[in-house]
Chains A and B, each alone.
Chain A
Amino acid sequence: GAVVSQHPSWVICKSGTSVKIECRSLDFQATTMFWYRQFPKQSLMLMATSNEGSKATYEQGVEKDKFLINHASLTLSTLTVTSAHPEDSSFYICSASLARTDTQYFGPGTRLTVL
């Protein structure tokens, strides 16, 4: 149980285009989802926290107009990288947690390469 999926697993796009990444909790309803970014040889950095049906809370330094997060249902959150540039190339990872439980479960990650 407690499986989180992400789609796509990798994506290559041209500079200036937008990319949408989906995060799904497959066997549980996630009241809270998190989005992280990880650059090579670095640790995970939290970008934002989203609760179903409400606006995401972004961490300091993360541009909310560039990284659009939608958490429309208890099993799906999306991250849209708008007008992507090469410096947005990174490994994006989501996680999900179930209300009244102690644990976050992570997706497999999405590798974004912007040319």
Chain B
Amino acid sequence: DAKTTQPPSMDCAEGRAANLPCNHSTISGNEYVYWYRQIHSQGPQYIIHGLKNNETNEMASLIITEDRKSSTLILPHATLRDTAVYYCIVALSGTYKYIFGTGTRLKVLA
């Protein structure tokens, strides 16, 4: 079973920030939090990952709570091209298997 829970769907207005939450209350101390997204009929695309500290890259920001039991992916200025299913995954590293949950279907509205 997946170690993460996410809301099944969210809407966001174009140009606004999209905040996608993820609960991972059973995460162990050395597990990373990964975020991927899947646009219809494509393979998942890596977005960002982190261990303890907040992370930011050109695509998004990742905020991890101090107890590491939850995190939020932030897309600062959502566009229509960000419409996708977003998956939050916890794993020891990229060389360990990922268990995908059901993800959050984000719909960016014009």
A→B interface (CB under 8 Å): 2, 4, 6, 31-32, 34, 36, 43-46, 49, 91, 93, 95, 97-99, 101-109, 111
In residues 38-66 of chain B, which contact A (Cβ within 8 Å)? 38, 41-46, 49
**Contact (Cβ within 8 A) B95 A99:** yes
**Do most interface residues of chain A lie in helix, strand or loop, or is the interface mixed?**
strand
Contact of B43 among A31, A32, A43, A107 (CB under 8 A): A107
B→A interface (CB under 8 Å): 32, 34, 36, 38, 41-46, 49, 87, 93-95, 97-103
**Contact (Cβ within 8 A) A102 B100:** no
Residues of chain A with a CB closer than 8 A to B45's CB: 106
**Contact (Cβ within 8 A) A93 B43:** yes
**Do most interface residues of chain B lie in helix, strand or loop, or is the interface mixed?**
loop
Nearest CB in chain B: distance from A17 CB, A:
24
**Contact (Cβ within 8 A) B43 A98:** no
Rounded to whole angstroms, the CA-CA distance of A66 and B2 in the bound complex is 25
**Contact (Cβ within 8 A) A32 B95:** yes
Nearest CB in chain B: distance from A111 CB, A:
7
Residues of chain B with a CB closer than 8 A to A6's CB: 43
**Contact (Cβ within 8 A) B34 A43:** no
Rounded to whole angstroms, the CA-CA distance of A51 and B38 in the bound complex is 25
**Contact (Cβ within 8 A) B41 A111:** yes
Residues of chain B with a CB closer than 8 A to A43's CB: 87, 100-103
Query: Which partner residue on chain B sits nearest A106 by CB separation?
Result: B43
